[in-house]
Structure 1
Amino acid sequence: MVSRNLQPMRSTSRRAPAAYPTTVATLSWDAPADNPSENMTQMIASIRNEDVAFNRAVSRDKYARGEIVATSEDLARKMFVLMSGRVHLICTNNEGRRLVIGTMEPGAIFGEGALDNPTDPTVFAEAAANSQVWTIPASEARNMTLRYPILGWGMLQTYGQRLMQVENSLEDVAYKKLPERLASLLMELGDYGDGLIKGVSHQSLADRLGTYRETVSAILRDFKRQGLVELGYRRITVLDALTLKDIAGIWV
């Protein structure tokens, strides 16, 4: 029988390296699952409150709806954190046509060029609602991402959400006609307490659907004739949500 000397087990717990700020440990990951974006913005705000270097590196700006948040050049050399509001990523072609390829909500982190990732020179960011955006220059973005993994995690989450939006759009283009896609978009944008969609133009709807404003206007007029919507200046009121859902193929 072979005898073995049993050694006491060593503890596997380790202290965080001294190089990491104590703020990393104080940030809670146990967020309510129903509102992850709010938790993300709270955690990033906590970093600013507790780390002087991070606070100095970050610039804080506010944008009204329709203002350019970041040009393609900005996206190539800065990291952006959307703290409030909504931002569209928009692609343009040589003819000036616009296509919304992503819609970002609070907590989104974008500007992957700041981490030396390739960027698209035809894409820029525009405020879809009044927004507050924090900006980190490329000279600080990599260092801050290494010190605070939540920044990299937030960017990864944003990638995933953008990919899902693109997949859904491709599926809609492949299987749905334009009236169905417009009905689906109206249901997505609408506040069904009163059915009112504020601050939306026919052009902005066309940008989301990748079509012409005139085409969207014609479909909306047809919806109006059917009594499904009421049209006003930069506002659409949904009058018959059930029929619009049926047109959109939404049965849940």
Structure 2
Amino acid sequence: MTLSTTSENQVHISDEELRELLAKLVEEDEEMANAITVVHALPWECIAPPDEIDEYLYILSEGLVQLLIISREQRRLATAVIGPGSIFGEESILQLEHPRLNFCAQTIQPSVLWKLKAEDAKRLLLKHPVLRLALLRTFGMRMVQVENRLEEVAYHWLPERLAAELIRQSRYAGSDQIRLSHQGLADILGTYRETISAILRDFREAGWVKLGYRRITILDRDALEKMSGVIRE
């Protein structure tokens, strides 16, 4: 595989190239292959529950996963969405003095993950630069998404943010039909289900969406995109 380069001769690895490198690593390194546990998950499963996140490092091989923070009141806030080649569960190897709030990783699409016990992960990270690169890229991507979400919360009203999220979820699903509950949208946007339901009823009355049980169908994408146009992806 030939990696692309910039005009300054700096090597640039695309997401697809990184996925290929990780897959090749498992094929060629027997220690790596023996250390991972392969997990297959359906959409909306919590695949890294709070009681496991401090014990394993996770590598996303296929699918999409959203990272959630869970409050003491069991409210959920989505902080980032990550794709194949991403690594999370860094608490297991960093041993932070001030661990963050309860954390959960939830699938958005059918997904395949590799689980590594913390001790195996530390050893393999030292052995393979591509694992360190994948972890660093995930950190950077998550930071950008968190900063964008903070900007959305600070500067944009909730209907704009909801319209933007419907467009995002439609893109993830590859369809105008989104299989997601009002509570799920509330979790992602860090608000209450009742508030989301009220805004969705307004969208329905405007003819922008059709509402069903755990299902939202986009009828007027242009209107939603116009509403959400000020939100950066």
- Asked if Structure 1 and Structure 2 have the same fold, meaning a TM-score greater than 0.5 normalized by the shorter chain, the answer is yes
Alpha-carbon distance in 2 for matches of 1:38, 1:73: 31
Match of 1:187 among 151, 160, 167: 167
Q: 2:210 touches 2:216 (CA, 8 Å); kept in 1?
A: yes
The one-letter amino acid of 2:43's match is: R
Is residue 91 of structure 2 the alignment partner of residue 116 of structure 1? no
Q: 2:3 touches 2:13 (CA, 8 Å); kept in 1?
A: no
Q: 2:152 touches 2:231 (CA, 8 Å); kept in 1?
A: no
The residue number in structure 1 matching 2:197 is 217
1:75 is paired with a residue of what secondary structure? coil
Q: Structure 1 residues 200, 126: CA separation in 2 closer, same or farther (over 3 Å shift)?
A: same
Q: 1:77 touches 1:137 (CA, 8 Å); kept in 2?
A: yes
- Which has the larger displacement, 150-159 or 227-236? 227-236
State the 1:182 CA deviation.
0.4
1:18-97 correspondence runs (5 A): 29-30=3-4, 36-97=14-75
Q: Flag the structure with more relative contact order, 1 or 2, with Cα contacts below 8 A and sequence separation at least 6.
A: 2
The residue number in structure 2 matching 1:23 is none
Q: Structure 1 residues 217, 193: CA separation in 2 closer, same or farther (over 3 Å shift)?
A: closer
Is residue 149 of structure 2 the alignment partner of residue 169 of structure 1? yes
1:123 is paired with a residue of what secondary structure? strand
> Structure 2 unaligned runs (5+)?
6-10
Q: 1:145 touches 1:152 (CA, 8 Å); kept in 2?
A: yes
Match of 1:139 among 104, 119, 140: 119
Is residue 217 of structure 2 the alignment partner of residue 237 of structure 1? yes
State the 1:45 CA deviation.
1.0
The one-letter amino acid of 1:122's match is: N
The one-letter amino acid of 2:222's match is: L
Q: Structure 1 residues 193, 90: CA separation in 2 closer, same or farther (over 3 Å shift)?
A: closer
Q: 1:28 touches 1:43 (CA, 8 Å); kept in 2?
A: no
> Structure 1 unaligned runs (5+)?
1-26
> How does the TM-score come out when normalised to structure 2?
0.87
User: How many residue pairs are counted as aligned between the two chains?
Assistant: 225
Q: Structure 1 residues 227, 162: CA separation in 2 closer, same or farther (over 3 Å shift)?
A: same
Alpha-carbon distance in 2 for matches of 1:215, 1:238: 19
The one-letter amino acid of 2:206's match is: Q
Is residue 205 of structure 2 the alignment partner of residue 205 of structure 1? no
Alpha-carbon distance in 2 for matches of 1:35, 1:238: 35
Q: 1:82 touches 1:132 (CA, 8 Å); kept in 2?
A: yes
Q: Structure 1 residues 192, 57: CA separation in 2 closer, same or farther (over 3 Å shift)?
A: closer
The one-letter amino acid of 1:97's match is: R
Q: 1:72 touches 1:121 (CA, 8 Å); kept in 2?
A: no
Deviations 1:51-74 (A, max 9, x none): 111111111111122222112342
Q: Structure 1 residues 97, 167: CA separation in 2 closer, same or farther (over 3 Å shift)?
A: same
- Asked which structure has the greater CA Rg, the reply is 1
Alpha-carbon distance in 2 for matches of 1:160, 1:131: 22
